[in-house]
Amino acid sequence: QVLNMQLLRQSENKKYKYTLAFLGYADESQSTVLELTYNWDTTNYEHGNACGHIAIESDDIYASCIKIEEMGGIITRAPGPVKGGTTIIAFVQDPDGYAIELINKKDAYTDL
């Protein structure tokens, strides 16, 4: 509300006990979207674990991860389906140790 962002969509995963909220200034196809994650059973977070990360969409998550590794970056979760879903995600570590989530573009072509 402070930043005048709108809740674009929200989903809950009861099996893995988390809620995702996607906020933005316009439709996801037209603007950057911020994903917020709420883990139901977590009361404390440490540096970079399960919270406090940003998510960035990638046109080809597999190619992005290869390039990150080639440049000396650290992949902390290889590309694969999110728990309880089909969206392909990966996690990388920024130079300060924070997690950055990569999300494969929904209509991205992959031969995997």
Q: What is the pLDDT of residues 27-76, one digit of tens each?
A: 988 888 888 888 899 877 666 555 567 888 888 999 999 999 999 999 99
Q: Residue written as tokens 């989903």?
A: 11
- CA dist., res. 93 & res. 91, Å (int): 7
**What is the pLDDT, as a whole number, of residue 76?**
96
Among the listed residues 36, 40, 43, 37, the one whose alpha carbon sits nearest the alpha carbon of residue 14: 40
Q: What is the pLDDT confidence band of residue 10, given thresholds at 50, 70 and 90? A: very high
Strand partners, 56: 102
pTM comes to: 0.60
Helices (H) and strands (E) in the chain, counts: 1, 7
Instruction: Note if 101 is an active site residue.
Output: yes
**Torsion sign, CA atoms 45, 46, 52, 58:** negative
Domains of the chain with bracketed CATH: 1-43 (no CATH), 53-111 (3.10.180.10)
Identify the active-site residue in 12, 28, 57, 101: 101
The share of the chain scoring above pLDDT 90, in percent, equals: 47
The share of the chain scoring above pLDDT 70, in percent, equals: 85
Residue 55 has a CB neighbour count (10 Å cut-off) of 19
> What element of type H or E holds 68?
helix 61-70
| 111 φ/ψ sector (left φ>0, alpha ψ -120 to 50, else beta) | alpha
